[in-house]
Amino acid sequence: MTTTAGQIAAAYGLGDMTTFNMLHGFAEGMLRGLRSGFLLDSEYNHLSQCETLEDFKMNLQETDYGQLLANEPAITPKIVEQKLVEKLVAEFSYIRANSVEPLSTFMDYISIEFMIENVMLLLRGSLSGRNVNELMKQCHPLGMFKESIMRNIPNFEASPRGYAELYEIVLVDTPIGPYFQQYLDMTAGNVKAASDVRNIIEEVQMEILKNSLMKLYLEDFSAFAESIGGETGECMSRILSARADRLAINVTLNSFGTALNTPQMRDKVRRNLYPSFGELYPAGTDLLSKVDDDQKLVQALSWNRTYATMFEKYLNSKAEDFSIDDEFFKREVMLYETAFDSQMNLAIFLSYIKLKEQEIRNLVWISECILQKRKDKINHYIPIFSGASEWRCESTRRLAGGH
């Protein structure tokens, strides 16, 4: 998609106030209508009071999800997730079918992230010898491509040569093929150096591959959104910059205690996994490439108020009481919500999908807590479009009943 994305955006543009609705008005109107289906604080409260999953099912029927679970004889968190994802996929597919350029390409970019996740799921499954049919069932529906291609993916070795063969034989004609080719080109010199480090195990190589693909994807998506310009370019810049920063920080954090944290690997491999844009790039990512423990990570982020506050909490909290992933999700939810405040903006299509993903995580979490009888943890979810959200001003939170 790298070759044609900018050409598509330039050729079609978004249109000004007189033409945007002609191109994207139907899809945007449909999406803004779907926005009204997000669960309210009161609905979350009712679901959190449920004692059994059958009660959960009955209360969910009073929301926009309606009879989605009505035909399920027994409810489990896995079934809840499966049915909610199916509904999201149906909405995505309908909007994609009613879109024109550049929105159709924009939505294809949304799918690519799920394709990368699916490919990595299949490759990891092959390492542990899991059945390909079992792996296929776990793949996200938004990231599916030709089934015969996907079934071939677990047959390749998790090694530099295996990745090259995987691209040349299987992935060359898929939407993520260009990223695989860029990864192979980018690591042509580093792979040899990496292979000289004896304690580089297959799982670490897999993480390098995944993070490389995600970096290339985010950079490509950012370039496409920038070529569209206007309100879309501005909103997507904020959203994708936050995603790029999260990737850079997580790559650093997850490398501690692994071969990627050795001086040689920090400079030659880990540094190359950081996206070349975002709030942290380039001065912040340069600092990140040198850190080798939690304390130095906090010091490297101390100049950025958002991340400094986040990681001070991380250092001063117990693992069971604080999740750094949740902190990133909260910040991204804020950015996705604020995208809806502007008009003539394609960023809302990505925002809707990501906010629905968070809502699904919320409902799966609540159902898990009900099943495991952990009511003390049940309110640890991230509400969507809530006046009580942490990032809102104190008066708004007070009106919404927040603390």
* Pick from 83-87, 157-161, 286-290, 341-345: least confident: 157-161
Q: For residues 150-177, give the mean pLDDT.
A: 88
The range of the structural domain enclosing residue 64 comes to 1-10+21-102+347-403
Residue 300, C-beta contacts closer than 8 angstroms, at least 6 positions apart: 284, 287, 288, 290, 291
330 and 235 co-located in one domain = yes
Examine residue 116 and state whether it is found in any structural domain, yes or no: no
Examine residue 132 and state whether it is found in any structural domain, yes or no: no
236 and 308 co-located in one domain = yes
pLDDT of residue 399: 78
Work out the pLDDT band at 155, boundaries 50, 70, 90. confident
Examine residue 133 and state whether it is found in any structural domain, yes or no: no
DSSP per residue over 227-269, as a string? HH-HHHHHHHHHHHHHHHHHHHHHHHHHHTTSGGGSHHHHHHT
Q: For residues 46-54, give the mean pLDDT.
A: 97
Residue 138, C-beta contacts closer than 8 angstroms, at least 6 positions apart: 121
| Angle ∠(79,84,87) on CA atoms, nearest 5 | 130
Instruction: Examine the fold and report which residue of 327, 345, 363 is the final residue of a domain before the chain moves on.
Output: 345
Is the pTM value of this prediction over 0.75? yes
Domain tally for the chain?
2
Question: Quick check: 140 and 85 in contact, CB under 8 A?
Answer: yes
Residues 338, 84: Cα–Cα separation, whole Å: 24
111 pLDDT above the threshold of 90? yes
Examine residue 367 and state whether it is found in any structural domain, yes or no: yes
Instruction: Examine the fold and report which residue of 345, 360, 380 is the final residue of a domain before the chain moves on.
Output: 345
pLDDT of residue 201: 44
322 and 270 co-located in one domain = yes
370 and 315 co-located in one domain = no
* Pick from 112-121, 156-165, 178-187, 357-366: least confident: 156-165
Residues 177-214 have pLDDT tens digits of 999 999 988 877 554 444 433 334 456 788 999 999 99
Percent of the chain with pLDDT over 90: 71
Choose between 126 and 232: higher pLDDT: 232
Examine residue 250 and state whether it is found in any structural domain, yes or no: yes
pLDDT of residue 395: 81
313 and 373 co-located in one domain = no
319 and 367 co-located in one domain = no
Examine residue 89 and state whether it is found in any structural domain, yes or no: yes
341 and 352 co-located in one domain = no
Examine residue 64 and state whether it is found in any structural domain, yes or no: yes
254 and 299 co-located in one domain = yes
289 and 357 co-located in one domain = no
Residues 374, 366: Cα–Cα separation, whole Å: 9
CATH number of the domain to which 4 belongs = 1.10.132.50
Around Cβ 16, how many Cβ atoms within 10 Å?
Answer: 9
Question: Quick check: 346 and 228 in contact, CB under 8 A?
Answer: yes
Instruction: Examine the fold and report which residue of 301, 328, 345 is the final residue of a domain before the chain moves on.
Output: 345
64 pLDDT above the threshold of 60? yes
Residues 274-322 have pLDDT tens digits of 999 999 999 999 999 999 999 999 999 999 999 999 999 888 888 778 8
Work out the pLDDT band at 241, boundaries 50, 70, 90. very high
353 and 394 co-located in one domain = yes
Examine residue 57 and state whether it is found in any structural domain, yes or no: yes
Q: Cα–Cα distances in Å, from 46 out to 55, 83, 381?
A: 10, 20, 14
285 and 377 co-located in one domain = no
Question: Quick check: 384 and 352 in contact, CB under 8 A?
Answer: no
332 and 354 co-located in one domain = no
